[in-house]
């Protein structure tokens, strides 16, 4: 039971990190694109 709990926690933890990382990446890309548009048009 304890092992199951540990694996569950690990899975949810890594999923949260992945989601955060992806949203950060998306935000960075969006700002990069808007900066590019601002400077190159």
pLDDT at 28: 92
Q: What stretches of the chain show up as alpha helix (H) in DSSP?
A: 2-40
Using DSSP's 3-state secondary structure scheme, residue 21 falls into: helix
Q: What is the pTM of this model?
A: 0.64
Residues 36 and 38: their CA atoms lie apart, in Å, by 5
Domain boundaries, the chain: 1-40
Q: What is the pLDDT of residues 1-41, one digit of tens each?
A: 899 999 999 999 999 999 999 999 999 999 988 888 887 76
Residues 14 and 11: their CA atoms lie apart, in Å, by 5
pLDDT at 36: 80
């Amino acid at each position: 039971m304890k092992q199951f709990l540990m694996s569950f926690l690990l899975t949810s933890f890594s999923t949260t990190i992945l989601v955060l990382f992806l949203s950060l990446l998306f935000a960075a890309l969006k700002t990069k694109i808007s900066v590019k548009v601002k400077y190159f048009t």
